[in-house]
Amino acid sequence: MLLRLLYLTLTNAFALLRLLPISDTDKNVEILTLRHQLAVLQRQVAKPRLTPPVRIFLAALLHRLPRTTLRFI
């Protein structure tokens, strides 16, 4: 489980480095695209199964967002 969490952390750190030189408009378009993909996938799967490392990683990401934003997610 620790190895999986380390893997998720490293891959997302590299993804963050990839996003640094991209403009805010491009980031917003990518976010909207990913949200649409998520909405489509959620219609196909009744209830996704989250593994403990994925839950920890999502909790760490969501911790940085303000509570008012989380109510709309």
Mean pLDDT of 41-51: 78
Query: What pLDDT score does 46 carry?
Result: 76
Contact 8, 57 (CB under 8 A): yes
Q: Which one is predicted more confidently, 45 or 23?
A: 23
Residue 8 has pLDDT above 60, yes or no: yes
Range of the domain at 23: 2-70
3-class secondary structure, 6: helix
Contact 8, 53 (CB under 8 A): yes
3-class secondary structure, 51: coil
In the chain, what percentage of residues exceed pLDDT 70? 93
Structurally, the chain folds into a number of domains equal to 1
Residue 15 has pLDDT above 80, yes or no: yes
Q: State pLDDT tens for residues 48-70.
A: 778 888 888 888 877 777 777 66
